[in-house]
Structure 1
């Protein structure tokens, strides 16, 4: 008996846009854009190979959209009206993508005025009627209506992004109903992408529940009459016609004419000749080499394998990024070379130039890149092909024995041309540190890759397999290579017996240092190709990689602080802290240590008898900020005093005392350290010292900023994005009234107050401002009630009113959380992914916390991407304008701080404003203007 035929139908249209957004702009030898074509070709290549090695199809075809018009536009003229035109550089690639499909000798099906989904549905049903199994290669929720079994002929789906099969169980888990009822759910919830109206305010959960309870759309709509009075009842009754129209729009057409017979889709291998000709014509040389090295058909290539993921967001990340390893030998530390002569160093440099890629690491005397000595440099050209170049080894005593090593200046003179050679890519892990160390030794490095940043752009927030979710080298080596690195403590010890790295014997130092370079090289081999297949290329190449040297330079510049001013502030804060302590003791009726949570808890709840005290596992009362704010709100004066005491004590220890200690004795400036991987949403974070948490709008915060000053003859300039997150929300949620307000320069909080409360005064504007920001963080009715000091029901009414006035915001929130539940991650406008592994957790606190963070992550992350792009473009723009003496010193959330000669001020202002206002372009065209506010002064405080 012949085997049952198995037809695979590939949703090619989804592949096209995925490919376009995953690769940087590319052109072929004739100058035609081919980035999407290349991505599409690699994806089709991998699919063909994977299917060949699995339960391969007997028949296969690719289905594409021929045009944007279909019969649905005749039913509803606003169908897909919100979809923007395809990017200008993608349009000429559409015919080339058809050529690519045919180069694989696969049927390429596209019909005018018929959507690809309808063509897929028609072929799937026709094949099923003939007793064939069908697999639809897509993750499109509309196509899930087709899943099922008829007389032993199955239709399922294959999500290649997650390497997951979708059958009846998966559909029911996603929608809460069987596949044949999915259309009813879709009709209720609508779809903003296709502009299907649905019923406003009905999200996926409510829609699923209604259909599951009542059986179908008509019954669910009929049930509204018997419901208790509620918003849902009103919406079901008022928008019934929208839902019924939506049901027609989401129904797949299953009787289209079939332009290619099913039997003509039979697979007989992929002939190499047409594919080779196509690859050669468009300059895809790497793919052509793989084809020529194979057996005449596409073969599996490690750098085309996307991360394997589970089907659920909650579990999608547990092992999501463990990759099939390239053929690499295990780490062999005995293979490393200690380079102690110029002859051997020149040998390694020559090999590095020939390789065009070298992993580099530095060893130093301390972790402070602005004060440490360079002790040695390591290089790696392949697995176990690494060396260490000691430069300052031996005891610190001038009479101590020192091993043979190249003189420092001679070694750096030899390395300098290699490290600045544009033809050789230098790969670092946390390269910002090494760039600063080398720059202080007169060595400029470019171009670079950074495996720590690549890892972050792939896996920010991802839950991993028990090893940890960080991006340090040791964690990544264990996670991706299954290798445990030597630790610094193993070599240098800890505590009083610790020795500096320069005193470690050379054999051990070589094992440790060269291993770092070796592991960096290996990580680059594994992680860099994932950027293209997992959508990280855009954000890495266009946002984060250009920023690494920029941030390193900012750290080297540092900022001047007025030590005398800081000392005076510390003295004033100490007096105020003492005064507050006296008042607190007087209220308590006893002296105690205010900074002791245990003693404070006993005073508040045992001595003074305040209600609501809760003890933790340690047996002591909680006295955190929320507890003190609650007591203060209930009239407890002592709680208010303690809150004030804590703020002053923290500011004194964190800033006015610590900043004096942080002044670099060589530069007389403070040099903060920025982390490019510290905040999950992509924001830069500042440490040692942290300059991003100085209170913004308080008098005390202003006084601290007054201590940050310009050098004589210079001024500080602070350029701040105005309400950038609200502007991005207006764009991303497509809220016409908010966009109009920003376009006209209107006060956005006043516009919101007018929309919500009908009038604008100090009270309504204040409430509107709170609501504007709270909504974007997914706040609950109870959270908003707490912030506004109202009952939960009143807060809910405000939320409902807000969504009625700005329906796009609610739709954005619903669709964002649903996408994150489905995929496990959110995405910014620039393609930055933030993973939320607990979004589907059964623990409500974990789940709700992830949902709130997921709502804000695309907005806050896009804001971070934009200011990063502005930073990367800023210095070239200033230099082009003849303003090379302007220095960018600090980045604090939405603000950039510069130091410049006072004579350059008038010329620099418009350049800085323009670069910041246009930072999103051309990658993203915003429908709202980016407002930039600029202030100047002799101090940071005066510039605000």
Structure 2
């Protein structure tokens, strides 16, 4: 046993409700609900594994609430009166959760008449008095009163918030409350607590409470000082409600001298005997956890493996339209049932209702689509079908003489809503909630924990439906498809064209119908979609990859990146000058002036006037002049085609980047803030819009000039970390190609190895061909496609493909097996379980079928690559924080690359942290046979960092 004893006290009650919200309803072989039990078990297992990897406790116990009644109810009968009874399907799980704790051979402590917080306080103080260090595993603000730095004779007490992976010590408490831990109770007594129905002093929020304690030293002094204050509402409330505050101080005070039902020494850890745990897991059908236990590994397996055969069958049988699960029984949408919240009393009532519901939908209404500049106009909440409200915050005309409707002041409403929206005990559901996170963050409002119906839909049905890539996951479409209901459209409420009005000018009755309906529909969609994750095998990819990424991507969007406006303006001018020269040369070659940007005019010039061969007219009656056509003509010696291609590239770069980036600079931040879509690419890759920063040419001189305009703030540098050939590495692993795996293990140039295998020698030409083939094969390229890329005949290209498969038979086997599986199931899967659907894989239309086949070959590889970098992104900021690198900001994700901004002095310390997180991102869920290579560069500009 270690010289220094370290006791971990787990707030089990908080774990139970978190687990209940994390997983959909599940039942064991006997039909008993076990969703919360399963979630609790996995969370406890993960905690044990994480602690073992870190410093490791010497003693550990789980503390639970025995009953809803405690000595505080005798003092104040209304204590916790607002809390509803636990959900019906959670009640039978409470004893099973106790069984789960004891199955780990851990002590499970509970006492009648005492709350878990009191037992935690008593054990913490007793252990600290013996010189032990204590860590309380919880995020409960009441427990922050216990935090202590320790002394020569007593141990320290801190907290661990496992949801945020954050240690909470005295500095964190002072940052949150503005006072030391011993005064937290005084602040809580003034502000009260609507969750526990502790009255406090009405109208006194966190900021006012903190200010009063800071100014006067303690609660009694603050209340005594009220008599000498200037006349104000605050003075009246302090005088009138003094007794409430004094009683509240008693209610929030933790009982630190309880009798200890189990001696501290009995909490000693001595491993987890497999027998009781194995019996428990087997009894309740937790087969994936049982396999982990049998394998002797640390953490539990995929949460959706509770019944693998059932999930597989469900996935295979699902129709191309998706949603094979029955719709929960809900009443039809009734917009007349929604409430417009215009008074503080009504808002407080809705906040209490939301706290009691524990699962709510949230939506914001704003003045614009740009989350970084839009003003917050109102917030809608929903606690169930037809139980929704709209809280107008900034409604009224733009004219100063316009009459404003009755509404709660913005600052007052947000102060009241902040605790609800940040409460760990309430799950907040949104549809594309990333937008709402960014809008509310600008008003200093945190929203967590979250679920996103758009992301859940994507995890289930990516590729399904008729809308194509990126479509099919908007709220209106999901509502129509799954609920059979068409919500009000923005146009119906605000109008179109010149008659369109801002949402803030919409009459409140109509605004309430529109806004509250959004929250209502989102709540209904969540009720329908979330249970499908476990049934159809989507829990892992949603819970471990996509959901954790939402707040990370939102943060990156808020960070933005600085661009050099002068550099961009200079490039725009240069591009315009060069385009003018090319335009003149093209007109000379054509023998007349025409609009180069017009496909029709260009086609007529090339094929009718100049007489080039190969022109084909489409259904519109005009010639095709796309890039492939122009490249073919250029290859045949048509110089005008070369010039048009060059003119088009400059035109696109100028309009898309050098001009657009200048216009996109946020006037308040001086930075460009792109918007990332988590559902924009069928394989799971992030896509960037407004502006798109992912398609800037990498290897061309012009593209590098544009990247030079992306710069760091003075004193900082940009750091670019790029996965090296990650898709080829994944192909070597997934197709099990020994020679390629060996090459990556030895750090060999993979294109050299391929050239040697195919041609017997490595030179500039064979390496270039090998590189093209390496990537082309993974995209299911045809003989004609490869012939076009290499400039050879189709037969020669086919011979290269055949030779490649001969040298690397694993690749051919992988392709054949992938296509066979997709044709049978209708979907492909990444190593992490992300499904991509291909409803046209068996189409009789050859073009549709072959297009689906090419995409299906690449989807598992590209999708796994996307999953890996997403996992790295989700883990990155906590790792940097733990390393004391809080000034490092993650700005961009571009395909296989992450871009950071950081102080020059932090580079050497940050590099190994970033490299480690990226290199190990697949673990522990997936153990790759090849290393993930990371290339890192730094510089004052994005280009210099490469």
Give the 3-state SS of the residue equivalent to 1:511 in structure 2. helix
Contact preservation (8 Å) 1:317, 1:462: no
In structure 2, the gaps of 5 or more residues are 1-11, 33-278, 287-308
Contact preservation (8 Å) 1:309, 1:319: no
Which residue number corresponds to residue 750 of structure 1? 752
Partner Cα separation in structure 1 for residue 468 and residue 656 of structure 2? 34
Render the CA deviation track for 1:496-542: whole Å, top value 9, x for unaligned. 11100011111110110000000010000000010001010010011
Structure 1 residue 317: deviation in Å? Answer: 3.6
Matched, 1:374 2:376: yes
Which residue number corresponds to residue 182 of structure 1? none
Partner Cα separation in structure 2 for residue 465 and residue 870 of structure 1? 30
Give the 3-state SS of the residue equivalent to 2:382 in structure 1. strand
Render the CA deviation track for 1:710-764: whole Å, top value 9, x for unaligned. 0011000000000000000000000010000001100000000000000000000
Render the CA deviation track for 1:19-64: whole Å, top value 9, x for unaligned. xxxxxxxx99999xx99xx9998596799xxxxxxxxxxxxxxxxx
Structure 1 residue 322: deviation in Å? Answer: 5.0
Contact preservation (8 Å) 2:717, 2:938: yes
In structure 1, the gaps of 5 or more residues are 1-26, 48-276, 285-303
Matched, 1:350 2:341: no
Partner Cα separation in structure 2 for residue 780 and residue 728 of structure 1? 21
Partner Cα separation in structure 2 for residue 278 and residue 406 of structure 1? 52
Partner Cα separation in structure 2 for residue 645 and residue 680 of structure 1? 32
Match of 1:397 among 399, 405, 410: 399
Render the CA deviation track for 1:195-226: whole Å, top value 9, x for unaligned. xxxxxxxxxxxxxxxxxxxxxxxxxxxxxxxx
Contact preservation (8 Å) 2:707, 2:943: yes
- In structure 2, relative to structure 1, the CA distance for the partners of 1:638 and 1:317 (3 Å cut) is farther
Structure 1 residue 319: deviation in Å? Answer: 3.5
Match of 2:641 among 633, 639, 642: 639
Structure 1 residue 633: deviation in Å? Answer: 1.1
Contact preservation (8 Å) 1:678, 1:684: yes
Give the 3-state SS of the residue equivalent to 2:833 in structure 1. coil
Partner Cα separation in structure 1 for residue 471 and residue 772 of structure 2? 34
Which residue number corresponds to residue 389 of structure 2? 387
Partner Cα separation in structure 2 for residue 838 and residue 350 of structure 1? 49
Contact preservation (8 Å) 1:727, 1:928: yes
Matched, 1:609 2:626: no
Partner Cα separation in structure 2 for residue 412 and residue 41 of structure 1? 36
Matched, 1:672 2:674: yes
RMSD over aligned Cα, in angstroms? 2.8
Contact preservation (8 Å) 1:558, 1:670: yes
Match of 2:650 among 643, 648, 651: 648
- In structure 2, relative to structure 1, the CA distance for the partners of 1:368 and 1:353 (3 Å cut) is same
Contact preservation (8 Å) 1:308, 1:320: no
- In structure 2, relative to structure 1, the CA distance for the partners of 1:541 and 1:511 (3 Å cut) is same
Which residue number corresponds to residue 764 of structure 1? 766
Which residue number corresponds to residue 155 of structure 1? none
Give the 3-state SS of the residue equivalent to 2:789 in structure 1. helix
Contact preservation (8 Å) 2:683, 2:836: yes
Give the 3-state SS of the residue equivalent to 1:849 in structure 2. helix
Q: How does 1:47-62 map to 2 (within 5 A)?
A: none
Structure 1 residue 310: deviation in Å? Answer: 10
Render the CA deviation track for 1:398-423: whole Å, top value 9, x for unaligned. 22111111110010000000111111
Matched, 1:501 2:499: no
Q: Detail structure 1 runs of 4+ shifted over 2 Å in the superposition.
A: 27-31, 38-47, 277-284, 304-312, 316-320, 463-469
Contact preservation (8 Å) 2:28, 2:284: no
Contact preservation (8 Å) 1:467, 1:478: no
Partner Cα separation in structure 2 for residue 339 and residue 467 of structure 1? 39
Render the CA deviation track for 1:600-652: whole Å, top value 9, x for unaligned. 11110011100110111111111011100111111111111111110000000
Render the CA deviation track for 1:883-941: whole Å, top value 9, x for unaligned. 00000000000000000011111100111111100100001100100000011000001
Partner Cα separation in structure 1 for residue 448 and residue 558 of structure 2? 17
Which residue number corresponds to residue 892 of structure 1? 894
| Larger CA deviation: 865-874 vs 393-402 | 393-402
User: Looking at both structures, which has the greater relative contact order when contacts are Cα pairs under 8 Å and sequence separation is at least 6?
Assistant: 1
Match of 1:440 among 430, 439, 442: 442
Q: How does 1:23-38 map to 2 (within 5 A)?
A: none
Structure 1 residue 470: deviation in Å? Answer: 1.1
Which residue number corresponds to residue 261 of structure 1? none
Contact preservation (8 Å) 1:323, 1:480: no
Aligned residues: 665
Structure 1 residue 463: deviation in Å? Answer: 2.5
Which residue number corresponds to residue 430 of structure 2? 428
Render the CA deviation track for 1:363-399: whole Å, top value 9, x for unaligned. 0011110001100001000000111111001111222
Structure 1 residue 795: deviation in Å? Answer: 1.1
Partner Cα separation in structure 1 for residue 581 and residue 451 of structure 2? 54
Partner Cα separation in structure 2 for residue 605 and residue 623 of structure 1? 10
Contact preservation (8 Å) 1:462, 1:469: no
Structure 1 residue 281: deviation in Å? Answer: 6.7
Partner Cα separation in structure 1 for residue 615 and residue 473 of structure 2? 40
Matched, 1:554 2:594: no
Partner Cα separation in structure 1 for residue 830 and residue 443 of structure 2? 38
TM-score (norm 1): 0.68
Match of 1:883 among 879, 882, 885: 885
Which residue number corresponds to residue 711 of structure 2? 709
Give the 3-state SS of the residue equivalent to 1:831 in structure 2. coil
Structure 1 residue 323: deviation in Å? Answer: 3.4
Contact preservation (8 Å) 2:315, 2:536: no
Match of 2:413 among 411, 414, 422: 411
- In structure 2, relative to structure 1, the CA distance for the partners of 1:797 and 1:283 (3 Å cut) is closer
Partner Cα separation in structure 2 for residue 682 and residue 473 of structure 1? 19
Give the 3-state SS of the residue equivalent to 2:901 in structure 1. strand
Which residue number corresponds to residue 216 of structure 1? none
Which residue number corresponds to residue 477 of structure 1? 479
Which residue number corresponds to residue 785 of structure 1? 787
Contact preservation (8 Å) 1:559, 1:709: yes
Structure 1 residue 584: deviation in Å? Answer: 1.1
Q: How does 1:817-832 map to 2 (within 5 A)?
A: 817-832=819-834
Which residue number corresponds to residue 178 of structure 2? none
Partner Cα separation in structure 2 for residue 750 and residue 613 of structure 1? 40
Partner Cα separation in structure 2 for residue 447 and residue 417 of structure 1? 12
Which residue number corresponds to residue 796 of structure 1? 798
Render the CA deviation track for 1:202-251: whole Å, top value 9, x for unaligned. xxxxxxxxxxxxxxxxxxxxxxxxxxxxxxxxxxxxxxxxxxxxxxxxxx
Matched, 1:620 2:622: yes
Which residue number corresponds to residue 686 of structure 2? 684
Contact preservation (8 Å) 2:470, 2:680: no
Give the 3-state SS of the residue equivalent to 2:411 in structure 1. helix
- In structure 2, relative to structure 1, the CA distance for the partners of 1:420 and 1:311 (3 Å cut) is closer
Partner Cα separation in structure 2 for residue 40 and residue 328 of structure 1? 17
Matched, 1:572 2:574: yes
Structure 1 residue 464: deviation in Å? Answer: 5.5
Partner Cα separation in structure 2 for residue 373 and residue 582 of structure 1? 47
Render the CA deviation track for 1:298-326: whole Å, top value 9, x for unaligned. xxxxxx997997978xxx64443153211
Q: How does 1:151-190 map to 2 (within 5 A)?
A: none
Partner Cα separation in structure 2 for residue 306 and residue 345 of structure 1? 43
Structure 1 residue 563: deviation in Å? Answer: 0.4
Contact preservation (8 Å) 1:336, 1:384: yes
Contact preservation (8 Å) 1:722, 1:931: yes
Structure 1 residue 469: deviation in Å? Answer: 5.0
Which residue number corresponds to residue 461 of structure 1? 463
Which residue number corresponds to residue 871 of structure 1? 873
Which residue number corresponds to residue 817 of structure 2? 815
Contact preservation (8 Å) 2:24, 2:531: no
Matched, 1:531 2:515: no
Give the 3-state SS of the residue equivalent to 2:798 in structure 1. helix
Contact preservation (8 Å) 1:467, 1:479: no
Which residue number corresponds to residue 6 of structure 1? none
Contact preservation (8 Å) 2:719, 2:901: yes
Partner Cα separation in structure 2 for residue 370 and residue 488 of structure 1? 20
Contact preservation (8 Å) 2:743, 2:753: yes
Contact preservation (8 Å) 2:314, 2:536: no
Render the CA deviation track for 1:169-204: whole Å, top value 9, x for unaligned. xxxxxxxxxxxxxxxxxxxxxxxxxxxxxxxxxxxx
- In structure 2, relative to structure 1, the CA distance for the partners of 1:796 and 1:389 (3 Å cut) is same
Which residue number corresponds to residue 836 of structure 2? 834
Render the CA deviation track for 1:96-125: whole Å, top value 9, x for unaligned. xxxxxxxxxxxxxxxxxxxxxxxxxxxxxx
Render the CA deviation track for 1:449-482: whole Å, top value 9, x for unaligned. 0000000000000125999951000000011100
Give the 3-state SS of the residue equivalent to 1:474 in structure 2. helix
